[in-house]
Amino acid sequence: MPHEPHVLQFTMDHAFSDVVHLGVAYILALPIGWNREHEARSAGIRTFPIVATACCGLTMIATSIQGSTPDTYSRILQGLVTGIGVIGGGAIIKDKGGVSGTATAASVWMIGIVGAAVGMGLYHIGIALALLNYLTLRVLSPFKKEVPKPDGD
């Protein structure tokens, strides 16, 4: 007997839940994106919400198709970590012996994980990661400016 394709059932309750997940991922990404935009970084107010909602959406799609198994989650996270790492790497700029953009790259990577956490329904992890990322960027920025740069010798 041929294998029947997996058919997803559409319900308004499920659709509402999915939209809530995407909205939460979007909202959690906004402060971090705003911070990067305010600091005139290469990725900002548009990039961060897009990355978060894309990772959230991909996680929800994959778990809807594959089911909620540890193996499924492992494959999803492996792909997201790699893919978002490549995107974040594009934010790193080497110029005149110095490197900039590493905080933005790390934040892009983290916001992808925030989106994945929310997509899996782990709001507490997504909120904690987003809050820690934002606070790190806001609170520790003055200390970064105080650290003397090497003169290249």
pLDDT tens-digit profile of 22-80? 999 999 999 998 988 887 776 778 888 898 999 999 888 888 777 777 887 888 888 88
Query: What sections of 39-122 are H helices per DSSP?
Result: 47-66, 70-89, 102-119
Tell me: the pLDDT tens digits for 79-101? Answer: 888 888 887 777 777 777 777 77
Predicted TM-score (pTM) of the model is: 0.74
| Residue 73 contacts residue 63 (beta carbons within 8 Å) | yes
Q: What is the dihedral of CA 130, 133, 134, 135, to 10 degrees?
A: 120
The two counts, helices (H) then strands (E), for the chain are 6, 2
